[in-house]
Amino acid sequence: MTDTPSSESASPEILPPPGAEKIRCDACPVLCYIADGRTGACDRYANRHGELVRLDPLTIIKAGTDKLVPFLPEGAGGPDDWDGDVLGNGRTFVTAIGAGTTYPDYKPAPFIISQPLGGEDMVTVVTEGIFSYCGAKVKIDTDRHIGPERAFVRVAGEPIGHVTTGEYGSKMLSLGGVEHLTGGTKKEGRVTCEALLSLCNREPVEMSVDDGAELVITAGEAPIVNGVTEARMRVGCGSATIGMFAMQWHGLVDEVVVVDDHITGVLSEHQSGRLLGMEPSGIRIKGRRSTPGRYFQVADPGTDWGGTNVTDPLSILGPFDPRRARPGMTLLMVSTTGEQWAYFVLDEGLVPQPAPLPGPLHAVVERIAENCEPAVASVLFMGGAGGSLRAGVTQNPIALTRSVRDALTRVTCGGAPAYLWPGGGITFMVDVMDMPTNAFGSVPTPALVAPIEFTMSAADYAALGGHVDEVRDMADVIREAEAKGLRTVPNGTSRSASKRGKAA
Ligand code: SF4
């Protein structure tokens, strides 16, 4: 069991009423007593006529799509030639989804499976880890201001995380984590756990940011900011947009301003304009000049032009310099997504007057929009498997950490490749869109339940002190699972699989 303190005596233990015929689930520290025909507190386990059963079927990824590379290239000599792909063409992979959990941690993982490969035996250790230390990193493709960095993100009024450092064209949330799961009130922990579970299972979650926006986030779908479905991820910052389209504007207009919350670009001053021989236009931008043609802080953050609060683009301009500007000069102002634009001609007083956008310029504005990618919300589950979960794999847990670090053991989550953080422990991230649907569960400690698999050669498994007596043949495991109900997911299709239904 991963990182679930064994001292959770304050966990919500479910006790049987006096005299009731119940069995005890020992798959997590809650240790529910479950009556016949009923489920435990997490709905993952049930009492079926006195037998404790895991309710979700074991999920198996059926390989064989022609998109896949062979598990080992033709003529490869065994695991030494292994490229780390645990699925591979023609290979069936037993994921940990529906595998169940063992508790306490020293018990061997639910399935330790051998499978011949390239003339060698490989072993996959399969378990559903219970993660008290886990969370989600959420990338929201939008320019719009969702709230200040470090602001709390709330669900049902409870803080479940915060806005973290923004990235290029995207806002970022850091959600969950042990502080919100265990360090606040009981309600905060429960709400955090439920929100993480929904996000990781690709269900929509409504959240609000302190002093910021109302969000609806669904993994793999367009984010909804203040009730508006975001359509486009910006093509770049204002300066980058100038750099990309300067050639196409040249000769069609005297000045272009690309309005952006971070770096607003001005064509005639920008290096692109200079290299094209453009004359200074005498434009004056309100804001802090960084380098030529690049301005910071032209307005406050907002949900209008380029992620600013600008609704009238002229509001970011000062008076034109009469030494440079001239009547009849043309000016295009556009946002970084091409969603907003305005065209002006300077009158006799050098004041910009709105004018119809000429067709050729319109085509370039449309090209900005064309170059924007669809806005998507991405959810990466992040967890730490460096704790007690390792004892289900080996009697010497540090040996598993070293084996993972030495790339002898491959870590996957529901068959999806996990990114491993450098440094100590087994701290990993995985894109929930790469995993089969409904891969996550939860327990009321509260903690998330996530599938995790460790794959290595049988020799390496023995060398790291693995539970070799528990190793079972793949066919045997599948036979047993089929008898109980098996969910089969085609490989390579989890991204396109039905998002809401089971992919079986
Ligand atoms: S919460 Fe779920 S896993 Fe934990 S003891 Fe109860 S039924 Fe078993």
3-state DSSP helix/strand/coil percent for the chain, to nearest 5?
Answer: 20, 35, 50
Sign for the CA dihedral angle at 317, 321, 324, 326 comes to positive
In short, whether 45's Cβ falls inside 6 Å of ligand 1 is yes
- In three-state secondary structure terms, 460 is helix
In short, whether 369's Cβ falls inside 6 Å of ligand 1 is no
Per-residue burial over 301-311, b = 16 or more CB atoms within 10 Å of its CB, e = otherwise? bbbbbbbbebe
From the alpha carbon of 34, which atom of ligand 1 is closest?
7
Taking the centre of ligand 1 as the mean of its atom positions, its distance from the CA of residue 213, in whole angstroms, is 36
Whole-number Å distance between alpha carbons of 191 and 133:
15
Q: Please report the pLDDT score of residue 490 as a whole number.
A: 77
Per-residue burial over 170-202, b = 16 or more CB atoms within 10 Å of its CB, e = otherwise? bbbbbbbbbebbbeeeeebbbbbbbbbbbbbbb
**In degrees rounded to 5, what are phi and psi of residue 172?**
-125, 140
In short, whether 96's Cβ falls inside 6 Å of ligand 1 is no
Per-residue burial over 55-92, b = 16 or more CB atoms within 10 Å of its CB, e = otherwise? bbbbbbbebeeeebeebbeeebeebeebeebbbbbebb
Structural contact between residues 219 and 433, judged by C-beta atoms closer than 8 angstroms? yes
In short, whether 172's Cβ falls inside 6 Å of ligand 1 is no
Whole-number Å distance between alpha carbons of 184 and 160:
10
Name the β-bridge partners of 449. Answer: 130, 441
In short, whether 46's Cβ falls inside 6 Å of ligand 1 is no
Q: Please report the pLDDT score of residue 416 as a whole number.
A: 93
Q: Say how far residue 363 (Cα) sits from the centre of its chain.
A: 35
Q: Please report the pLDDT score of residue 77 as a whole number.
A: 43
Taking the centre of ligand 1 as the mean of its atom positions, its distance from the CA of residue 75, in whole angstroms, is 47
Taking the centre of ligand 1 as the mean of its atom positions, its distance from the CA of residue 99, in whole angstroms, is 14
Distances 274 to 144, 215, 266, 270, 292 between C-alpha atoms, Å:
31, 41, 11, 6, 10
**Tens-place pLDDT, residues 167-199:** 999 999 999 999 999 999 999 999 999 999 999
Question: Among 125, 61, 50, which residue's Cα sits nearest to residue 87?
Answer: 61
User: Is it the case that residue 64 has pLDDT exceeding 80?
Assistant: no
In short, whether 27's Cβ falls inside 6 Å of ligand 1 is yes
Q: What is the rounded average pLDDT for all residues in the chain? A: 89
Looking at mean pLDDT, say which of 4-18, 31-45, 159-173 comes out highest.
159-173
From the alpha carbon of 26, which atom of ligand 1 is closest?
5
Structure-block tokens of residue 343 = 């065209």
User: Is it the case that residue 109 has pLDDT exceeding 80?
Assistant: yes
In short, whether 130's Cβ falls inside 6 Å of ligand 1 is no
